[in-house]
Amino acid sequence: MASASFLFSTLSIPISREKTNPTISSRIRCCEDTLGNPNLKLIDASNGKGMDRFPEKLSVARAGSCPRPRRIILVRHGQSEGNVDESVYTMVPDPKIKLTQKGWDEAEGCGKMIRDMIESDGVDDWKVYFYVSPYARTLETLRGLGRAFDRDRIAGVREEPRLREQDFGNFQDREKMRIEKVLRNRYGRFFYRFPDGESAADVYDRITGFRETLRADIDIGRFQPPGKRTENMNLVIVSHGLTLRVFLMRWYKWTVEQFEGLNNFDNGGMLVMELGDGGRYSLLVHHTEEELRRFGLTDEMLTDQKWQKTARPGELNYECNVSGPSFFKHLS
């Protein structure tokens, strides 16, 4: 469904040695407990075959029973003091810059839109779980979002430092930063590293680590206690404009050129990754092509999002420009 809420601005295995007759032999005791009793046989959730020789796969087998969250919702923080007056960055540490009153209003409004979107599913067992950057403006945005939900709807919150804003180098000199941003445009938005700070490529590296944590959390159902698991879990990631664009780049394996064509969300804006029929997340389940073009998706990226709507986890899109033949069109 289209939504006006999409806003833009521009084991180790123990080895035991035991005596059998007069000789000493060694064997792996992965199928026994410490008393030598057989372990409970593990069953592979995908093909039903025994996994008694591979106890390290237990978590994978268990993960198969945990449904994937219905959505991953990306939210940019509301308007901050630094968005209104850049001189704030010269006096206040970036992590301590707070929301304006308008930013609080944007956060609360975004929370209501998320709740309305989830309630439109017409289900009773839905919940939300939040991952949040530790910066003041994102923590305040989280609190604004949270006002839209009853306490029993919130499955939990995790503060995640890897979701922080791109580091621009501690206190900022306004004139120097103006020059740096001009140089960034000349050098390239992805690879340009601010002095004493980060490049978008640096952010990509830490977001790669977060993505693996997120995938593991999803696979083992870390936010879904046994007996309380639901297909109607919604994950909300509260972060910063560039960080969220890099997250999408990493998730969908977009190229550097494609990343540099993306635009920022508005403050308090959101982008929704929703499960398609095959079990993968696509931006086109919730958003329209027009909305995604405004964000900066190209025809090729939209074609891949259409594929994501019906593809199954583990499948590859061999026509996608990051894994298929399109890198070599000049050879045709």
C-alpha span between 238 and 132 (Å, rounded): 5
The residue among 200, 209, 206 whose CA lies nearest residue 166 is 200
Q: What is the residue type of 75? A: V
In the numeric block, which tokens belong to residue 241?
């404009």
DSSP annotation of 328: G
**CA separation, residue 33 to residues 14, 56, 73, 80, 234 (Å):** 10, 14, 43, 57, 39
CA pseudo-torsion sign 139, 145, 148, 151: negative
Element at 270 (helix H, strand E): strand 270-275
At 156, give phi and psi (nearest 5°).
160, 175
Place of tokens 């306004």: 174
165 is catalytic: yes
Distance CA 201, CA 167 (A): 12
Q: What is the distance between the alpha carbons of residues 237 and 146, in angstroms, rounded to a whole number?
A: 13
CA dihedral angle for residue 23, residue 29, residue 31, residue 36, rounded to 10 degrees:
70
For residue 127, list its beta bridge partners: 233
- Beta-bridge mates of residue 131: 158, 237
* Cα radius of gyration (the chain): 24
Q: Which of 108, 160, 165, 180 is catalytic?
A: 165
Angle at 69 between CA 3 and CA 299, to 5 degrees: 50
* Positions marked active-site: 77, 165
